[in-house]
Structure 1
C-alpha cells in the first residue's frame, strides 16, 4: 500500500499529528523511516502505510490524493476497512525463535503454577481433615476422662493433722530417749 506523511495520516485519521507520533513511538502504529524531512532536512522522514492507519483507526475520515499502481492520480476516494485486508508486518526469524522460546517458558511456568495451585488445594484439604481428627480426639478424650477427684472431707483433713502431730511427738520422744541413753553411756 502507499506510504503517506504523518500530516496526511493525521488528516485521514481525523486526529492530530501529535497523536500519530505518539502512536508510532508507543508501537501502536508502524511507520517507515526513509529520506529526510523537515525544513532543514536534518530529521529522518517517517511515513505511515494507509493499511496501518486503517488497522489502528478503522475507517478513515478524510479524503486522500495519492498515486495508485500504474502512476495515475486518484482523488477524493474514501478508504474503509471493507476494501483492505491488513497484512501483518513480517517477523524476523530471530524474533520468531525468541517468541517460540518465550512461549515455551511461559507454558512451563504456567504448568508449574497449576501444579502449585493443586498442591495448595491438597494441603488445605489435608489441614481440614487433620483439624477434624484433632477435634474428634479432643471430644473422645473429654468423654473418657475420669471425673475430678472429690475434695477431701474435713474429717480427712483432721486425720492428716493427727497423723502429723503423732509423728512429731514420736520424733521428740525418740530424741529424748536417745539423749538420755547417750548420757547414761558416758
Structure 2
C-alpha cells in the first residue's frame, strides 16, 4: 500500500463499521454466510496529532495533516490512554471483520449511483470492484464506489481463487470495530 490513508478515510471506515446494523444489512450477511462467502479482516491505519483525550469515555480526538478530525472510541486494552496527551503524534488503527460475496448484478454505473444515494451513517455494506488478488496471501485490493482502494485479508487464502480483477463484490462489515491509538513511529 503506497498511500497512507488520512484520518478522513479512517473516519469513513469508522462510520461504516460503527453504524448499527439494520435488518436489511443483517439479511445480506446471513445470506452471504450460506453462499460462497469469503470471511476476512479489514485494517485501516492513519497518522495524526492528538487534540483531546477522554479517559473516562475511552475516546481520543485526532487531527491529520489535511485538517481532518475525528473522535474514536478506543479499546482500553490496546490503548494506554494515560500515556496520551494533546499534541502527541499517533497512529490510529481500526480492525473489523468483513464478509465478501460475489455481486452478479452490479455494474460500475450502478455502484456510483448506489453510493450517491446511500446514507453513509446507515451504510454497513458497500459494492466494490476487485482491483487485484494476491492468491498466495489472500489479500484483496478493492475499489469502493467513490474510487478509494482498500484491502481485505481473507481468512482462508484459497477462497479468493474464484476472484479476479474487474469482479464486483458486496462487502458487509461487522457492526463494531477494534480501534487502538499508539505513538507514531
Taking structure 2 as the reference length, what is the TM-score of the superposition? 0.21
Larger Rg, first or second structure (1 or 2): 1
Higher helix share: 1
Taking structure 1 as the reference length, what is the TM-score of the superposition? 0.21
